[in-house]
Amino acid sequence: MTAALRQYLVITGNYWAFTLTDGALRMLVVLHFHQLGYSPLNIALLFLFYEFFGVVTNLAGGYLGARIGLNRTMNLGLLLQVVALAMLAVPAAMLTVPWVMAAQALSGIAKDLNKMSAKSGIKLLVPTGQQGTLYRWVAILTGSKNTLKGVGFFLGGLLLMLMGFRGAVILMALALGLVWLASLFLLGQDLGKSRARPKFTDILSKSRAINVLSAARMFLFGARDVWFVVALPVYLATVFGWDFWQVGGFMASWIIGYGVIQALAPRITGHGEGRRPAVLWAAALALIPAVMALALTGGGASRAVVVGGLVLFGVLFAVNSALHSYLIVRYARADGVSLDVGFYYMSNAAGRLLGTVLSGWLYQSHGLPACLGLSAVFVTVAALVSLRLPKPAT
């Protein structure tokens, strides 16, 4: 086993462990506060700081990774997640909304430090010119992460049932603490540390390719979350009459399937070079929410439209997301890679934040067809923006 492969496995193992706790924690919070009588919209607001601090963290985290090394930012992310879990292990009387929002904010910072470090680290482990290998490694890391996030949803529900909320977060904090200790010794020192000392102003990308791809990413993820985060679970519960376990189980299964498709994306798309794949796959994706919105507005069979449409959307969205994840690593500079990746994932977090806010407001005021219509518009914008992507240098 080569040194690069060993480091890839350490990074992937860290990312997997973190993702399991991240998915489980989200489900624990949702289920626990649902039991306390909170509405779905109020529960969604508990995660507002989680998304907001993702925007800030990716900007500052990319700079920090270039200054101190990706090994340190990844380990810092693991440690902050342990602290966030410990914050939720307090007695039930202390679990106020502000306290939980603060813990979620810390978890959001931890998640984006961990993700930025993992994606940036891969760039440095694959020799220059081996773009097929780079695409496969990025796709496997990204796809497996999303699959495990879905598994984490199930894990959160199971732990809540077996151990209660406090017992579940204590167990996860202890397990992730052990991963953090192992990572301190196993992860390469000064991984991704820039040879030049970057200035703080370098957090804003000066690369046209990075800027264009970041704009496309923001609209792509806004298109998903504008109907997936709040509108869909509320719709499934109120219109279909599904109980909470059915809603959570269905959405967890969707995320697992989405992760599997992401991991297989290189086999589906072939090479991911240039603007053509990004534009064509985004254009295909835009058709799905547009057709769903028209069908629901016209009184179509809502169950078949929503469930079938969600499956198709998941397949095409997974391919689009995998292509973007590869292209950012492909375009990023080798020296100071975390600056480019951090800026890109800042746009990703901004899209999620925009989608989360619009999902609650638009569904409450105009219903699911309006959310789907805006989703189609967002994906169309992502496709049009992608037309300005340059062909990467060979």
Q: Can you give the CATH number for the domain in which 312 is found?
A: 1.20.1250.20
Range list of H helices, 88-207: 97-125, 131-186
Q: Is residue 394 in some structural domain? A: no
In a domain, residue 69? The reply is: yes
Please tell me the predicted confidence (pLDDT) of residue 379.
97
* Dist CA 69 CA 190 (whole Å): 5
Count the neighbouring beta carbons within 10 Å of the beta carbon of residue 189. Answer: 8
Helix axes 208-228, 231-238, angle to 10 degrees: 20
Q: Which two tokens stand for residue 312?
A: 């198709």
Q: Say what the pLDDT of residue 205 is.
A: 60
CA distance 351 to 221: 5
Domain span including residue 340 = 3-190+202-386
Q: Give phi and psi for 19, each to the nearest 5.
A: -65, -40
**In this predicted structure, what is the pLDDT of residue 394?**
47
Q: Report the pLDDT value the prediction gives residue 139, as an integer from 0 to 100.
A: 82
Our measurement of the distance from residue 13's CA atom to the centroid of its chain's CA atoms, rounded to an integer in Å, reads 17
Residue in the structure block whose two tokens are 């990413």:
217
Answer whether residue 393 is part of any domain.
Answer: no
Give yes or no for a contact between 339 and 62, defined as CB atoms under 8 angstroms apart.
Answer: yes
Helix (H, G, I), strand (E, B) or coil at 215: helix
In a domain, 37, yes or no: yes
The string of DSSP codes covering 169-193 is HHHHHHHHHHHHHHHHHHSPTTTT-
Where is 360: in which H helix or E strand? helix 337-366
For residue 63, is it within any domain?
yes
Distance between CA atoms of residues 275 and 18, nearest Å: 32
Asked if residues 186 and 349 have their Cβ atoms less than 8 Å apart, the reply is: no
Place of tokens 């997997």: 16
Question: Identity (one letter) of the amino acid at 105?
Answer: A
Q: Is residue 115 part of a domain?
A: yes
Q: Can you state the angle between helices 302-331 and 337-366, rounded to 10 degrees?
A: 160
What are the residues whose beta carbons fall under 8 Å from the beta carbon of 33, sequence distance 6 or more?
Answer: 42, 43, 46, 100
**Is 392 domain-assigned?**
no
Question: What is d(CA 31, CA 171) in angstroms, rounded to the nearest whole number?
Answer: 17
Determine, yes or no, domain membership for 168: yes
Q: What is the DSSP letter of 108?
A: H
Distance (Å, rounded) from C-alpha 211 to C-alpha 97?
A: 36
Task: Walk along the chain (394 residues) and give the pLDDT tens digit of each residue.
Answer: 567 677 777 888 888 899 889 888 887 887 787 777 777 667 767 777 887 887 888 777 777 777 777 788 888 999 999 999 999 999 888 888 889 889 989 998 998 888 878 777 777 677 666 777 778 878 887 788 778 888 888 888 788 888 888 999 999 999 999 999 998 888 766 665 656 555 555 555 667 888 899 999 999 999 999 988 778 888 887 888 887 667 777 888 888 888 889 888 888 887 656 688 899 999 999 999 999 999 998 776 688 899 999 999 999 999 999 899 888 878 877 666 667 777 888 888 889 888 888 887 888 888 899 999 999 999 999 999 999 988 755 4
Residue 124 identity: L
244 C-beta neighbours (distance < 10 Å), count: 16
Domain count, the chain: 1
